[in-house]
Amino acid sequence: MSLSDGDGFVGEFFEEIEPAVFGFGAGITLLFVTVFALDPGAAADTVYGLQDFMLNYFNWAFLIVMLGFVLFLGYLIVGPWGNLRLGDESPEYSYFSYFAMMYSAGLAAGIVFWGPAEALIHYGSVPPLYGAADQSTAAMPIAIQYSLFHWAITQWSCFTVMGLGIGYYVYNYGAPLRVSAVLAPFIGADNVNGFWGQFIDILAVFATLGGVATSLGFIGSQFITGLQYEWGVQLGDVGTIAIITGMTVIFTASLLLGVDRGIRRLSNFNMALFALMMVGTLVIGPTWFILELGTQATGGLMGDFFNMALFTDTANGGEWSNAWTVFYWAWPLAWSPFAGLFIARISRGRSVREVAFTGIGATSLATIPWFIILGGTGVWLQHNGIVNALGPINNPNLGEAVSGYIIYGALPFGQVFLIGFLILVTTFFITSADSSTLAVSMMTTGGKEDPSSLNRIFWAALQGIVASILMVIGGADALQAAAITTGGPFAIVAAVAVVGLTKTFSDEFGSVLLQEETTLIGSGDSVDKTGASRRAADDD
């Protein structure tokens, strides 16, 4: 590359950035790391205090808002508004690739990680909504049922709402490809670059950086735990930084390849390996027990869904629900800006129904079998005394990260499956990281669909640096808490998106119906009052 090429490369980077969003987004993140490094105790106390305040006083709001998103998306799937489209172009990707990218960019790394762990924890200590004895036969379906509730349908609802709220106004009204596009129905697509729009985008950048940086440390800790538990290898700070650096390099390479050559191909690989791991574990595990337990747990989920969705555990001061359900809802809400922006990026040409179903329907159809198979295998091994997984899980030096090693270590061909498990959680994280970094790049360039390579490298490197520093000084949990605290404001933003979409869909569907009636009457034909939109998608 010549000097002039280099100047152009750097010049493009400075020319495309949105100064306020770029500067404040990066600045707030670096300020947090600096303050924590100077006084970790005081910084942690402040962050945890904010998180506890939010969870203790607004837990009811998180439960109601997330349930509302599920009901709204359910209506879009079965109702007439689902026929409206995001733009007039044909979809850019096949449905499988579209689904794979949406799944990989969202919660997939967490799903793989918690698949063997959460059911075991609920089996060892039954949620207070139920009266079954801990570690009893009756506790087994409840344990699976609650893990299904926490990871299917509801968590994905806020991603999907944000994706629709951004994508519809980008492709139908010309709003910039930014989180603040959800404000378009209230202030106009040309005015989202004002104070409130920039405030939302800045907060979204911090939430995304915090979420991905802590997840990078989270996945790194799983490798470190595995090396320690399975092979007795102890890694110091240098080893920890090396693992995080390696993952950063990998997801940066995927990011630079772009959506089609990088994220799409890796997402397709993820889903193929995910399916292979599920089927393989079902075959080598207690197959008939898993199928029976899974059927019972799925029935319990369907029958008790609303009870679980609105359970605040008031008898215990909300302690259990805050630590589990409310915490689980706050986390995806904090991630909803980047996940929603990425969903919007890949949803051009899709119908509203298709986006809504993929977001909470297709993803759940993939998630539920994973938790039934992995969770069912784990509780069966624990209940029958084949393994003692609860001891290591409750060991603060090991924790939930050890569960996969224990389960696969007790099964035939366990080492082969364990390698597949580690590859899967890593590649799922990489697709989450590269899609989120792409989203940050888009937000900090005023909505540019394909930001420059230097912009992508900058944000990827920053996330790796933040994760490395906080893993070494012990502040990853505090950054996670800070990022999750932003779930509160984004619960409001996502609710605003629902209100705006409701208003827009109502107006558009009514105007399309009126136009059709007028056209049909004018042509002498009978009036079709089914409300089928001429811009609607054919049922796929």
Geometric angle at alpha carbon 331, from 145 and 389, rounded to 5°: 45
Flag whether 46 is in a domain: yes
Flag whether 251 is in a domain: yes
* Tens digits of residue pLDDT in 335-369: 888 889 889 999 999 999 999 999 999 999 999 99
* Tens digits of residue pLDDT in 256-292: 776 667 778 888 888 999 999 999 999 999 999 999 9
CA 397 to chain centre: 27
Q: Residues 379-416, buried b or exposed e (16+ Cβ, 10 A)?
A: bbbbbeeebebbebbeeeebebbbbbbbbbbbbeebee
CB of 437 closer than 8 Å to CB of 459: yes
Q: Give CA–CA dist 445/176, Å, rounded.
A: 10
Flag whether 472 is in a domain: yes
Flag whether 538 is in a domain: no
Flag whether 386 is in a domain: yes
Flag whether 532 is in a domain: no
How is 371-421 classified by DSSP, letter by letter?
A: HHHHHHHHHHHHHTTS---HHHHT-TTTGGGGHHHHHHHTSTTHHHHHHHH
Flag whether 526 is in a domain: no
Instruction: Tally Cβ neighbours within 10 Å of residue 202.
Output: 24
> 85: which strand partners?
351
Question: So what's the pLDDT on residue 149?
Answer: 97
Question: So what's the pLDDT on residue 144?
Answer: 97
Helix (H, G, I), strand (E, B) or coil at 132: coil
Q: What is the largest CA-CA distance in the chain?
A: 82
Q: Mean pLDDT over all residues of the chain?
A: 84
Give the ranges where 174-264 is alpha helix by DSSP (H).
184-187, 195-231, 237-258
Query: At 4, is the pLDDT very low, low, confident or very high (cuts 50, 70, 90)?
Result: very low
Flag whether 531 is in a domain: no
Domain count, the chain: 1
- CA-closest candidate to residue 310, choices 62, 52, 142: 62
* Tens digits of residue pLDDT in 168-212: 999 999 999 899 999 999 988 888 888 888 889 888 888 777 767
Question: So what's the pLDDT on residue 360?
Answer: 95
Question: So what's the pLDDT on residue 539?
Answer: 43
Q: Give CA–CA dist 429/110, Å, rounded.
A: 8
Q: Give CA–CA dist 191/133, Å, rounded.
A: 57
* Tens digits of residue pLDDT in 411-440: 998 889 888 888 887 787 787 777 778 888
Which residues form the domain of 99?
A: 36-517
Look at 467 and 82; give whichever has higher pLDDT: 82
Rg, the chain, Cα only: 23
Cα 218 to Cα 114, 155, 210, 224, 477: the distances in Å are 12, 19, 12, 10, 9
Kindly report the CATH number assigned to the domain that includes residue 474.
Answer: 1.20.1740
Q: Which tokens go with 155?
A: 């968590």
* Tens digits of residue pLDDT in 98-130: 999 888 877 777 888 888 899 999 999 999 999
Question: So what's the pLDDT on residue 86?
Answer: 95
